[in-house]
Amino acid sequence: MMATSSEASKGAPVVAIRKLAKSDVPTVWMILQESPEAAAWSQESLLQLASADPAGWVAELNGLPVGFLIGRIAADEFEILNLAVAAAHRRNGIASKLLESALEFSRNVSCVSAYLEVRVSNVPAIKLYTHHGFTESGRRVRYYRHPVEDALVLSLNLSGNH
């Protein structure tokens, strides 16, 4: 996930993916404040997740967290619970790098599929996931509140994607 030394020497942004740490919580929470489409978790919830050694990652740009992804393993499935990238750093492939790390981890722990729920109106997120091979596998009617909206369930078969 690191840029090559030639990229770094040309001054290209260096994005690195690493595991989420408790010290990331304030920055991750700030990213959530500018991401109303993401699940609105409190700092307390984030701290609990970060303390429990979750399946969580941050993307660092020149050493500063600019995106995160948190998931969980449920039996042989990997569920993506939350994902956001700081508004100023979107469309630079950062969510893709986070997603690729999470999917690689999922395969390594023998998950057979990955899935998530997303608001039907969240076109950027739906395009991101379909770009990575996810397809619609269900719909949960009136799943979200504020505003009330359906969720699409998007899934990816991991066993056929090695």
* Site for ligand COA, rule CB under 6 A: 35, 37-38, 83-85, 90-96, 116, 118, 122, 124-125, 127-128, 131
The residue among 5 and 148 lying less far from ligand COA, judged by its C-beta, is: 148
Closest CB 73 distance from ligand COA, rounded Å: 18
Residue 97 CA neighbour count, 13 Å, CB half: 24
The residue among 5 and 74 lying less far from ligand COA, judged by its C-beta, is: 74
The residue among 102 and 125 lying less far from ligand COA, judged by its C-beta, is: 125
Closest CB 119 distance from ligand COA, rounded Å: 8
Closest CB 148 distance from ligand COA, rounded Å: 17
Closest CB 7 distance from ligand COA, rounded Å: 17
The residue among 84 and 114 lying less far from ligand COA, judged by its C-beta, is: 84
The residue among 31 and 111 lying less far from ligand COA, judged by its C-beta, is: 31
Closest CB 104 distance from ligand COA, rounded Å: 15
Q: How far apart are CA 82 and CA 89, in angstroms?
A: 17
